[in-house]
Amino acid sequence: TKMLMDKEISNGETYHMNSGDGPYSYAKYSSYQKAIVDAAKKMLVEAISDNLDINNPSFGSSNTLRIADMGCSVGPNAFIAVQNIVEAVTLKYQSMQQNPQALEFHVFFNDHVANDFNALFRSLPPSRPYFAVGVPGSFHGRLFPKSSLHIVHSSYALHWLSKVPKEVMEINFLGLKNRRNYSTADEVLEVFSRQYKRDMQSFLTARAQELVGGGLMVLLVVGMQNGAIFSQTCSGMVFNLFGSCLMDMANVGLVSNEKVYSFHFPLYYTTPKELGALIETNGYFNIEKIEILARPVEHESPDYRICSFHLRAAMEGLVEEHFGKEIVEDLFERYTNKLEENSFIFDEEYRKETHLFVFLRRKIT
Protein backbone atom coordinates (compact mmCIF):
# COMPACT_ATOMS: atom_id res chain seq x y z
CA THR A 1 0.00 0.00 0.00
CA LYS A 2 2.94 2.33 0.68
CA MET A 3 3.50 3.18 -2.96
CA LEU A 4 -0.17 3.77 -3.55
CA MET A 5 -0.59 5.94 -0.46
CA ASP A 6 2.31 8.19 -1.29
CA LYS A 7 1.38 8.79 -4.87
CA GLU A 8 0.24 12.29 -5.66
CA ILE A 9 -3.43 12.12 -6.52
CA SER A 10 -5.48 14.68 -8.38
CA ASN A 11 -4.63 17.90 -6.65
CA GLY A 12 -7.67 20.08 -6.13
CA GLU A 13 -5.65 23.26 -6.17
CA THR A 14 -4.06 22.95 -9.58
CA TYR A 15 -6.80 21.92 -11.96
CA HIS A 16 -8.53 24.43 -14.17
CA MET A 17 -11.28 24.56 -16.78
CA ASN A 18 -10.14 24.33 -20.40
CA SER A 19 -9.22 27.81 -21.50
CA GLY A 20 -10.49 30.26 -24.05
CA ASP A 21 -9.57 29.03 -27.49
CA GLY A 22 -9.39 25.22 -27.72
CA PRO A 23 -12.08 23.01 -29.28
CA TYR A 24 -13.26 21.80 -25.86
CA SER A 25 -13.07 25.18 -24.16
CA TYR A 26 -15.11 25.79 -21.06
CA ALA A 27 -16.52 29.00 -22.54
CA LYS A 28 -18.05 27.00 -25.40
CA TYR A 29 -19.49 24.14 -23.35
CA SER A 30 -20.95 25.88 -20.35
CA SER A 31 -24.43 26.63 -21.70
CA TYR A 32 -25.99 24.44 -19.03
CA GLN A 33 -24.32 26.54 -16.35
CA LYS A 34 -25.54 29.66 -18.15
CA ALA A 35 -29.11 28.38 -17.93
CA ILE A 36 -28.64 28.03 -14.17
CA VAL A 37 -27.35 31.58 -13.84
CA ASP A 38 -30.33 32.81 -15.86
CA ALA A 39 -32.78 30.77 -13.79
CA ALA A 40 -31.33 32.32 -10.66
CA LYS A 41 -31.59 35.88 -11.95
CA LYS A 42 -35.14 36.52 -10.81
CA MET A 43 -34.45 35.09 -7.34
CA LEU A 44 -31.24 37.07 -7.08
CA VAL A 45 -32.81 40.41 -7.98
CA GLU A 46 -35.59 39.81 -5.47
CA ALA A 47 -33.25 38.69 -2.71
CA ILE A 48 -30.92 41.68 -3.15
CA SER A 49 -33.88 44.02 -3.25
CA ASP A 50 -35.23 42.53 -0.01
CA ASN A 51 -31.92 42.24 1.83
CA LEU A 52 -29.47 44.93 0.73
CA ASP A 53 -29.36 47.52 3.46
CA ILE A 54 -27.74 50.48 1.76
CA ASN A 55 -27.98 52.65 4.83
CA ASN A 56 -26.08 50.15 6.94
CA PRO A 57 -23.05 52.05 8.23
CA SER A 58 -20.71 49.13 7.63
CA PHE A 59 -21.27 49.70 3.93
CA GLY A 60 -19.12 52.77 4.46
CA SER A 61 -19.55 56.19 2.96
CA SER A 62 -17.16 55.65 0.09
CA ASN A 63 -19.79 55.04 -2.58
CA THR A 64 -17.90 52.00 -3.77
CA LEU A 65 -19.67 48.67 -3.74
CA ARG A 66 -17.34 45.67 -3.90
CA ILE A 67 -18.50 42.42 -5.46
CA ALA A 68 -16.53 39.19 -5.67
CA ASP A 69 -17.24 36.18 -7.88
CA MET A 70 -15.58 33.05 -6.53
CA GLY A 71 -14.59 30.43 -9.13
CA CYS A 72 -15.26 32.60 -12.19
CA SER A 73 -13.43 30.45 -14.78
CA VAL A 74 -12.88 32.38 -18.04
CA GLY A 75 -16.38 33.80 -18.44
CA PRO A 76 -18.92 34.46 -19.82
CA ASN A 77 -21.25 33.26 -17.04
CA ALA A 78 -19.42 35.24 -14.38
CA PHE A 79 -19.97 38.42 -16.43
CA ILE A 80 -23.68 37.71 -16.72
CA ALA A 81 -24.00 37.04 -13.01
CA VAL A 82 -22.13 40.21 -12.11
CA GLN A 83 -24.23 42.23 -14.53
CA ASN A 84 -27.36 40.88 -12.81
CA ILE A 85 -26.04 41.89 -9.40
CA VAL A 86 -25.08 45.38 -10.59
CA GLU A 87 -28.56 45.82 -12.06
CA ALA A 88 -30.22 44.58 -8.88
CA VAL A 89 -28.20 46.96 -6.68
CA THR A 90 -28.86 49.88 -9.02
CA LEU A 91 -32.61 49.15 -8.96
CA LYS A 92 -32.51 49.02 -5.18
CA TYR A 93 -30.81 52.44 -5.03
CA GLN A 94 -33.38 53.89 -7.39
CA SER A 95 -36.25 52.45 -5.37
CA MET A 96 -34.78 54.10 -2.28
CA GLN A 97 -34.70 57.43 -4.12
CA GLN A 98 -30.93 57.40 -3.91
CA ASN A 99 -28.78 58.45 -6.80
CA PRO A 100 -27.11 55.35 -8.24
CA GLN A 101 -24.90 57.63 -10.37
CA ALA A 102 -22.72 58.29 -7.36
CA LEU A 103 -22.19 54.57 -6.88
CA GLU A 104 -19.14 52.80 -8.36
CA PHE A 105 -18.73 49.03 -8.56
CA HIS A 106 -15.43 47.25 -8.02
CA VAL A 107 -15.65 43.65 -9.15
CA PHE A 108 -13.17 40.95 -8.12
CA PHE A 109 -13.03 37.84 -10.32
CA ASN A 110 -11.48 34.94 -8.44
CA ASP A 111 -10.24 31.55 -9.55
CA HIS A 112 -7.24 29.25 -9.06
CA VAL A 113 -3.81 30.58 -10.06
CA ALA A 114 -3.92 27.99 -12.87
CA ASN A 115 -7.06 29.55 -14.35
CA ASP A 116 -6.53 31.33 -17.67
CA PHE A 117 -6.84 34.91 -16.44
CA ASN A 118 -5.41 36.21 -19.73
CA ALA A 119 -8.45 34.77 -21.51
CA LEU A 120 -10.74 36.12 -18.80
CA PHE A 121 -9.32 39.63 -19.14
CA ARG A 122 -9.49 39.55 -22.94
CA SER A 123 -13.16 38.63 -22.83
CA LEU A 124 -14.31 41.17 -20.24
CA PRO A 125 -17.33 43.08 -21.61
CA PRO A 126 -15.78 46.22 -23.18
CA SER A 127 -18.37 48.67 -21.87
CA ARG A 128 -18.92 47.27 -18.41
CA PRO A 129 -20.41 49.39 -15.62
CA TYR A 130 -17.69 48.38 -13.15
CA PHE A 131 -13.94 48.29 -12.53
CA ALA A 132 -12.68 44.74 -12.91
CA VAL A 133 -9.75 42.89 -11.36
CA GLY A 134 -8.59 39.28 -11.20
CA VAL A 135 -7.85 37.52 -7.92
CA PRO A 136 -5.69 34.40 -8.16
CA GLY A 137 -5.92 31.81 -5.38
CA SER A 138 -8.11 29.23 -3.70
CA PHE A 139 -11.42 30.39 -2.28
CA HIS A 140 -10.89 27.93 0.57
CA GLY A 141 -8.51 30.47 2.07
CA ARG A 142 -8.41 34.24 2.70
CA LEU A 143 -8.15 36.33 -0.49
CA PHE A 144 -9.28 39.82 0.59
CA PRO A 145 -8.69 42.23 3.47
CA LYS A 146 -11.10 42.25 6.37
CA SER A 147 -14.53 43.79 5.77
CA SER A 148 -13.70 44.73 2.21
CA LEU A 149 -16.55 43.05 0.30
CA HIS A 150 -20.25 43.85 0.14
CA ILE A 151 -21.58 41.04 -2.05
CA VAL A 152 -20.05 37.63 -2.74
CA HIS A 153 -21.30 35.46 -5.59
CA SER A 154 -20.34 31.98 -6.68
CA SER A 155 -21.92 29.71 -9.21
CA TYR A 156 -21.20 26.13 -10.10
CA ALA A 157 -17.92 26.11 -8.19
CA LEU A 158 -18.51 25.06 -4.58
CA HIS A 159 -18.97 21.38 -5.43
CA TRP A 160 -15.21 21.33 -6.11
CA LEU A 161 -13.30 20.06 -3.10
CA SER A 162 -9.90 21.48 -2.20
CA LYS A 163 -8.49 17.97 -2.75
CA VAL A 164 -9.34 14.31 -2.92
CA PRO A 165 -9.24 13.43 0.77
CA LYS A 166 -6.24 11.32 1.83
CA GLU A 167 -8.41 8.77 3.64
CA VAL A 168 -9.82 7.65 0.32
CA MET A 169 -6.49 6.02 -0.48
CA GLU A 170 -7.16 3.17 1.96
CA ILE A 171 -10.43 2.48 0.22
CA ASN A 172 -8.76 2.67 -3.19
CA PHE A 173 -6.39 0.00 -2.02
CA LEU A 174 -9.30 -2.23 -0.99
CA GLY A 175 -10.84 -1.63 -4.38
CA LEU A 176 -7.64 -2.60 -6.11
CA LYS A 177 -7.32 -5.75 -3.99
CA ASN A 178 -10.86 -6.83 -4.70
CA ARG A 179 -10.87 -5.53 -8.25
CA ARG A 180 -13.96 -3.47 -7.54
CA ASN A 181 -14.42 0.24 -8.09
CA TYR A 182 -15.60 1.81 -4.88
CA SER A 183 -15.96 5.29 -6.35
CA THR A 184 -19.51 5.78 -5.17
CA ALA A 185 -19.44 3.33 -2.27
CA ASP A 186 -20.76 4.53 1.08
CA GLU A 187 -17.32 4.68 2.69
CA VAL A 188 -16.04 6.91 -0.10
CA LEU A 189 -19.05 9.20 0.06
CA GLU A 190 -18.59 9.47 3.83
CA VAL A 191 -14.96 10.50 3.44
CA PHE A 192 -15.85 13.00 0.71
CA SER A 193 -18.64 14.40 2.85
CA ARG A 194 -16.18 15.05 5.69
CA GLN A 195 -13.83 16.79 3.25
CA TYR A 196 -16.73 18.90 1.99
CA LYS A 197 -17.55 19.98 5.55
CA ARG A 198 -13.94 21.02 6.17
CA ASP A 199 -13.79 22.90 2.86
CA MET A 200 -17.10 24.69 3.35
CA GLN A 201 -16.06 25.70 6.88
CA SER A 202 -12.89 27.22 5.43
CA PHE A 203 -14.85 28.94 2.69
CA LEU A 204 -17.52 30.36 5.01
CA THR A 205 -15.03 31.48 7.65
CA ALA A 206 -12.81 33.23 5.10
CA ARG A 207 -15.78 35.00 3.49
CA ALA A 208 -17.11 35.97 6.92
CA GLN A 209 -13.88 37.88 7.57
CA GLU A 210 -13.94 39.53 4.17
CA LEU A 211 -17.58 40.61 4.07
CA VAL A 212 -18.81 43.68 5.91
CA GLY A 213 -21.46 43.10 8.55
CA GLY A 214 -24.77 42.82 6.71
CA GLY A 215 -22.95 41.84 3.53
CA LEU A 216 -24.67 39.38 1.22
CA MET A 217 -23.63 36.05 -0.27
CA VAL A 218 -25.36 34.42 -3.25
CA LEU A 219 -24.31 30.83 -3.90
CA LEU A 220 -25.51 28.63 -6.75
CA VAL A 221 -24.47 25.18 -5.61
CA VAL A 222 -24.52 21.90 -7.47
CA GLY A 223 -26.24 19.35 -5.23
CA MET A 224 -28.98 16.76 -4.86
CA GLN A 225 -32.46 16.62 -3.46
CA ASN A 226 -32.68 15.74 0.23
CA GLY A 227 -32.48 11.98 0.66
CA ALA A 228 -31.10 11.27 -2.81
CA ILE A 229 -28.32 8.70 -3.11
CA PHE A 230 -25.49 9.92 -5.32
CA SER A 231 -24.88 6.64 -7.15
CA GLN A 232 -28.55 6.61 -8.13
CA THR A 233 -28.58 10.11 -9.61
CA CYS A 234 -27.86 10.78 -13.24
CA SER A 235 -24.58 12.53 -12.29
CA GLY A 236 -23.51 9.64 -10.07
CA MET A 237 -24.18 7.25 -12.92
CA VAL A 238 -22.32 9.49 -15.35
CA PHE A 239 -19.25 9.32 -13.11
CA ASN A 240 -19.62 5.57 -12.76
CA LEU A 241 -19.78 5.19 -16.53
CA PHE A 242 -16.67 7.31 -16.82
CA GLY A 243 -15.00 5.05 -14.25
CA SER A 244 -16.08 1.95 -16.15
CA CYS A 245 -14.42 3.31 -19.30
CA LEU A 246 -11.20 3.60 -17.32
CA MET A 247 -11.60 0.04 -16.05
CA ASP A 248 -12.14 -1.16 -19.62
CA MET A 249 -8.90 0.55 -20.60
CA ALA A 250 -7.09 -1.01 -17.65
CA ASN A 251 -8.38 -4.44 -18.69
CA VAL A 252 -6.77 -4.09 -22.12
CA GLY A 253 -3.60 -2.73 -20.59
CA LEU A 254 -3.90 0.91 -21.76
CA VAL A 255 -3.65 2.25 -18.20
CA SER A 256 -2.55 0.66 -14.96
CA ASN A 257 -5.03 -0.54 -12.35
CA GLU A 258 -3.28 1.58 -9.71
CA LYS A 259 -3.90 4.70 -11.77
CA VAL A 260 -7.56 3.87 -12.23
CA TYR A 261 -8.26 3.05 -8.60
CA SER A 262 -6.49 6.15 -7.36
CA PHE A 263 -8.44 8.49 -9.61
CA HIS A 264 -11.31 10.50 -8.18
CA PHE A 265 -12.90 13.72 -9.25
CA PRO A 266 -12.58 16.11 -6.29
CA LEU A 267 -16.30 16.85 -6.37
CA TYR A 268 -19.11 16.55 -3.89
CA TYR A 269 -22.87 16.93 -4.33
CA THR A 270 -24.45 18.24 -1.15
CA THR A 271 -28.15 18.46 -0.19
CA PRO A 272 -30.11 21.47 1.07
CA LYS A 273 -30.32 19.79 4.48
CA GLU A 274 -26.61 19.06 4.78
CA LEU A 275 -25.56 22.47 3.50
CA GLY A 276 -28.04 24.30 5.73
CA ALA A 277 -26.76 22.42 8.76
CA LEU A 278 -23.16 23.27 8.12
CA ILE A 279 -23.90 26.95 7.55
CA GLU A 280 -25.65 26.91 10.95
CA THR A 281 -22.64 25.21 12.53
CA ASN A 282 -20.31 27.80 11.01
CA GLY A 283 -22.41 30.47 12.67
CA TYR A 284 -21.31 33.63 10.83
CA PHE A 285 -24.29 33.86 8.46
CA ASN A 286 -28.05 34.12 8.60
CA ILE A 287 -29.69 31.87 6.04
CA GLU A 288 -32.15 34.02 4.15
CA LYS A 289 -32.97 31.34 1.63
CA ILE A 290 -32.02 27.83 0.51
CA GLU A 291 -34.10 26.73 -2.44
CA ILE A 292 -33.93 24.22 -5.21
CA LEU A 293 -33.81 25.85 -8.64
CA ALA A 294 -36.04 24.48 -11.35
CA ARG A 295 -33.93 22.37 -13.69
CA PRO A 296 -33.29 24.12 -17.03
CA VAL A 297 -35.35 22.65 -19.85
CA GLU A 298 -33.15 20.54 -22.11
CA HIS A 299 -33.39 19.65 -25.77
CA GLU A 300 -35.72 16.74 -26.58
CA SER A 301 -33.03 14.21 -27.39
CA PRO A 302 -29.76 14.83 -25.57
CA ASP A 303 -26.73 14.81 -27.89
CA TYR A 304 -24.27 12.45 -26.23
CA ARG A 305 -21.36 14.05 -27.96
CA ILE A 306 -22.24 17.43 -26.46
CA CYS A 307 -22.80 15.83 -23.09
CA SER A 308 -19.36 14.29 -23.30
CA PHE A 309 -17.87 17.62 -24.34
CA HIS A 310 -19.35 19.15 -21.20
CA LEU A 311 -17.51 16.77 -18.92
CA ARG A 312 -14.40 17.13 -21.04
CA ALA A 313 -14.43 20.93 -20.81
CA ALA A 314 -14.46 20.70 -17.04
CA MET A 315 -12.33 17.62 -16.44
CA GLU A 316 -9.74 17.24 -19.18
CA GLY A 317 -7.07 19.01 -17.12
CA LEU A 318 -7.49 16.67 -14.18
CA VAL A 319 -7.59 13.57 -16.36
CA GLU A 320 -4.45 14.62 -18.20
CA GLU A 321 -2.61 15.38 -15.01
CA HIS A 322 -3.35 11.94 -13.61
CA PHE A 323 -3.14 9.70 -16.67
CA GLY A 324 -1.10 11.68 -19.18
CA LYS A 325 -2.11 13.26 -22.49
CA GLU A 326 -2.02 10.06 -24.54
CA ILE A 327 -5.22 8.46 -23.29
CA VAL A 328 -7.49 11.51 -23.45
CA GLU A 329 -8.92 11.08 -26.98
CA ASP A 330 -9.52 7.37 -26.57
CA LEU A 331 -11.06 7.79 -23.13
CA PHE A 332 -13.57 10.47 -24.14
CA GLU A 333 -14.44 8.51 -27.28
CA ARG A 334 -15.26 5.47 -25.15
CA TYR A 335 -17.13 7.65 -22.73
CA THR A 336 -19.33 9.14 -25.45
CA ASN A 337 -20.21 5.63 -26.63
CA LYS A 338 -20.97 4.50 -23.07
CA LEU A 339 -23.34 7.41 -22.63
CA GLU A 340 -25.13 6.47 -25.81
CA GLU A 341 -25.47 2.81 -24.77
CA ASN A 342 -26.78 3.83 -21.36
CA SER A 343 -29.13 6.61 -22.34
CA PHE A 344 -31.64 5.47 -19.70
CA ILE A 345 -29.60 7.36 -17.08
CA PHE A 346 -31.01 10.60 -18.47
CA ASP A 347 -34.55 9.45 -17.63
CA GLU A 348 -36.53 11.80 -15.44
CA GLU A 349 -36.53 9.38 -12.48
CA TYR A 350 -32.74 9.65 -12.10
CA ARG A 351 -32.50 13.41 -12.37
CA LYS A 352 -32.13 13.85 -8.62
CA GLU A 353 -29.24 16.32 -8.88
CA THR A 354 -30.32 19.89 -8.49
CA HIS A 355 -28.98 23.37 -8.15
CA LEU A 356 -29.40 25.08 -4.84
CA PHE A 357 -29.97 28.78 -4.60
CA VAL A 358 -28.45 29.87 -1.31
CA PHE A 359 -28.76 33.40 -0.03
CA LEU A 360 -26.88 34.35 3.13
CA ARG A 361 -26.39 37.50 5.10
CA ARG A 362 -23.28 38.14 7.18
CA LYS A 363 -24.31 38.63 10.81
CA ILE A 364 -23.47 42.04 12.22
CA THR A 365 -21.14 41.58 15.15
Ligand X SMILES: Nc1ncnc2c1ncn2[C@@H]1O[C@H](CSCC[C@H](N)C(=O)O)[C@@H](O)[C@H]1O
* Candidates 29-37, 188-196, 253-261, 324-332; binding stretch for ligand X (CB under 6 A): 29-37
- Please tell me the distance from the alpha carbon of residue 176 to that of residue 221, in angstroms, as a whole number: 32
Options 5, 96, 133, 364; binder of a second copy; rule CB under 8 A: 133
Among ligand X, a second copy, none, the one that 226 touches (CB under a kind-dependent 5 to 8 A) is: none
Counting Cα atoms < 13 Å in the Cβ hemisphere of 139 gives: 26
Contact between residue 270 and residue 194 where contact means Cβ atoms under 8 Å apart: no
Options 144, 242, 323, 332; binder of a second copy; rule CB under 8 A: 144
Options 24, 108, 156, 304; binder of ligand X; rule CB under 6 A: 156
- Could you tell me the CA-to-CA distances from 295 to 78, 274, 350 in Å, in that order? 19, 20, 13
- Please tell me the distance from the alpha carbon of residue 240 to that of residue 274, in angstroms, as a whole number: 23
Among ligand X, a second copy, none, the one that 144 touches (CB under a kind-dependent 5 to 8 A) is: a second copy
Q: Which residues inside 102-131 make contact with ligand X, applying CB under 6 A?
A: 110-112, 115
Quick note: the x/- pattern for a second copy over 251-290, rule CB under 8 A, is ----------------------------------------
Task: Based on DSSP, count helices (H) and strands (E) in the chain, helices before strands.
Answer: 11, 7
Closest by CA to 305, choosing from 351, 340, 267, is 340
Contacts of 151 (CB under 8 A, 6+ apart): 48, 52, 65, 66, 67, 68, 85, 89, 215, 216, 217, 218
Give ∠ CA 216-285-14 in degrees, rounded to 5.
75
Q: How far is the CB of 143 from a second copy (least distance, A)?
A: 6
* Candidates 80-88, 131-139, 229-237, 253-261; binding stretch for a second copy (CB under 8 A): 131-139
Contact status: 30 vs ligand X (CB under 6 A): yes
Site residues (vs ligand X, CB under 6 A): 16-17, 30, 33, 37, 71-73, 77-78, 110-112, 115, 138-140, 155-157, 160, 162
